[in-house]
Structures are given as C-alpha cells and as structure tokens.
Amino acid sequence: MSSLGWDWLILDLKKAFTIYQYCERIKSELLILSGLVDEAFKVKTEEAGGAEKVIVSFFEALIGEIRIAQHSTKMNEFFDAELRLKEALGNFRLKSSKETQKSLSETVSKITTACSKAVEVLAENNLI
C-alpha cells in the first residue's frame, strides 16, 4: 500500500475516533440529563425554580458540547441533534414532561446515527 493510502486510513481512523468520542460523551450526558429532567418534574415545592435553573444550565452546556462536535466534525447529524435538544429545552420550559422526554429520545437517536459510521470504521479495523 502506498504511503498516501496509509495517510488516508489514518485520517479516517482519527476522524472516526473523534466522532465516536463526541458521541459517547454526548449520549452519556443525555442520559444524565434525562434522569435530572425526571427528578425536576417531581419537585413541587419552592425548590422547583432552583431545580429548573440547574436543568436549563445543563441543557445549555450540552447544546454547547454538541455545537463543538458539529464544528469539529462538520457532520449535519450533530446539527440535527442540537435542534432536537433545543426542542427538548423548550418543552422543559413549558413543563411538558412527556414531550421533553420524547425530544430527548430523538436527540439520542440523532447522536446514535452520527456515531454509526464511526463505529463501523473502527470495528472494520478491529479497534472496538
């Protein structure tokens, strides 16, 4: 194999690792957020306002994380995930538990789709 061929393989593997790392981190954070959202909807006292502020901050931080992934990888799937997460945030602010969780699920689906090609490339090279 020519050196050019190896260079492309290395670049493809590097990009696949980068995408995989972003996806796994974002999926983990989405699962944490989902649990926090469930708990926040259970709070019915004067603590509800504080809980909401913390959850909104988590949403905003995760939106920022997804934007970094999108800019770093140039993948539209991350843009789609950002839109779903913004929808979830809007539903959370409207205090719609069911719709918030539905949007969070759709966000996980978008991230999983973004990760699928990277997983395929890494698996083909026996790296995962």
Q: Burial code of 54-79, b = ≥16 C-beta within 10 A, e = fewer? A: ebeebbeebbebbeebbeebebebbb
* Segment 108-123, tens digit of pLDDT: 999 998 898 889 889 9
Residue 126 DSSP class: T
Domain 3-124 fold: Four Helix Bundle (Hemerythrin (Met), subunit A) (1.20.120)
* Segment 2-28, tens digit of pLDDT: 444 544 445 588 899 999 999 999 999
Q: For the whole model, what pTM was predicted?
A: 0.85
Whether the Cβ atoms of residue 34 and residue 100 lie closer than 8 Å to each other: no
Whether the Cβ atoms of residue 118 and residue 20 lie closer than 8 Å to each other: yes
What are the extents of the domains in the chain?
Answer: 3-124
Query: Which pLDDT value is given to residue 31?
Result: 96
